Amino acid sequence: MKSKINDDALFIIGATGSQFDIGYLDLINKNNIVYDYSNILEKKGFLANSGFILIENKKIDTIIALEAKNLEAQLTYIEKKLLTQ
């Protein structure tokens, strides 16, 4: 997945790893990761915990709130979305 992520993709990480395994982050360019352990985005009503944001044509195209129970399927969807970008 790392080779497919460009400047228009961000992973927002609010989880510490106790909620779900964040080991997949090792595959991602660190420039595409924003750690939000203070939950600023949640306080602003934007995104609770961890998520993925895809920007297309300088606008937000996709926001996915990552969930432990659906993480594998969500990462597969994200990878497919990046391939079609």
The CATH number covering residue 39 comes to 3.40.30
**Each residue's pLDDT tens digit, 39-83:** 888 888 888 788 999 888 888 888 999 888 888 899 889 888 888
Sign of CA dihedral 67, 50, 62, 83: negative
Q: Write out the E strands in the chain.
A: 9-13, 33-35, 51-56, 59-65
Counted domains in the chain: 1
Domain that holds residue 32: 2-83
Q: What is the pTM of this model?
A: 0.73
